[in-house]
Amino acid sequence: MTTLPSPQWRSREAAHAQRAHRLTAAAVERRGRGEKHPVEDFLFTYYNWAPGKLARWHPGVGVVLEDAEERADWANYVRSGTGVAVDGPGLASARSATIRLARDVLAATRGRAPMLACFGLHEWAMVHRTRPEQVRHAGLPLRLGHAGTDDVVESHKIRCSHHDAFRFFTPSAVPLNELQPTRVDQAAQEQPGCLHATMDCYRWAMKLSPAVPGELLLDCFELARDVRILDMRASPYDVTSMGHEPVAIETPEGKAAYVRAQREFAERADPLRVRLIAVCDALLAQATSA
């Protein structure tokens, strides 16, 4: 266990709150006005974690906070020696299946070479042969129209390896995918080039909280936010009204740009996966020693 004196951890707590505010203030303001943003609000609706949750800093597992009596009654915290700490053994016991799944998926993803030729076609497959009223983001026009969008889907090989993207394919697009990913075989199919797998670093950070240090949680969130922007820029939707230039993946130039961004995101995600795996290992070690 590492012990943090009060001035040190309170400084980190304050810096975290400021950073979280910068990242979430616009979303909070939109919620107050009853507005939705199809690009920026995705992480709060799809992952179902309110912006306010990001504002609370946690030291992570294995850290004792001195003079932190106000946290003694927080969920998943316990008194420890001269201070208060995240209840690692309790979390490991209550979430053992989640922790092991997270570790399996994260480690397996790191162990594979990235596939960089999917070109974001999962978003296109989600609107294949739909009627206008069935489009997921009805407020955004399709850049190539419905017929043009269908042509792109039907003229490309689709190889989506991510279950949570694949499950939103339209019925007509499902048989066009070369893979049929399921939740059960998630660890066997995740790969670091997948944008959704990269965004899921944030998902795992949430599921492991408060065992995850606040700084790591926000690092994962920022990466997921940047990935989501590319996801929509490369989608069939016209997002120019949102201030984003499209990545026209139906062209050679667009494909090349998408692959470059995929590679950069995979490189950014790798050290985050390493840190998340370390959290899993620390929790599992505490469960063993408890």
| In contact, 93 and 287? CB cutoff 8 Å | yes
Q: What is the pLDDT of residues 103-123, one digit of tens each?
A: 999 999 999 999 998 999 999
210-221 tens-digit pLDDT? 999 999 999 999
State the chain's mean pLDDT as an integer: 94
Average pLDDT over residues 214-232: 97
Asked whether the predicted pLDDT for residue 50 surpasses 90, the reply is no
Decide: helix, strand or coil at residue 103. helix
Given its phi and psi angles, is residue 3 left (phi above 0), alpha (psi -120 to 50 degrees) or beta?
A: beta
- pLDDT at residue 290 is higher than 60: no
* Predicted confidence band of residue 13 (pLDDT cuts 50, 70, 90): very high
Strand-pairing partners, residue 4, are 65
pLDDT reported for residue 131: 85
Over pLDDT 70: what percentage of the chain?
99
Mean pLDDT, range 11-28, rounded to an integer = 96
Give pLDDT, residue 35.
Answer: 87
3-state secondary structure 239-272: CHHHCCCCCCCCCHHHHHHHHHHHHHHHHHHHHH
Q: Which of 26-35, 102-111, 153-162, 268-277 has the lowest mean pLDDT?
A: 26-35
Look at residue 288 and tell me whether its pLDDT is greater than 70: no
Q: Are 201 and 273 in contact (CB under 8 A)?
A: yes
Residue listed under structure tokens 């620390």: 282
Predicted structure pTM score: 0.94
Domain positions in the chain are 88-289
The C-alpha atoms of residue 211 and residue 223 are separated, in whole angstroms, by: 19
Q: What is the chain's alpha carbon radius of gyration, rounded to the nearest angstrom?
A: 21
Give yes or no for a cis peptide into 210 (omega within 30° of 0).
yes
| Residue 264 main-chain phi, psi, to 5 deg | -65, -40
| CA of residue 18 relative to chain centroid, distance | 21
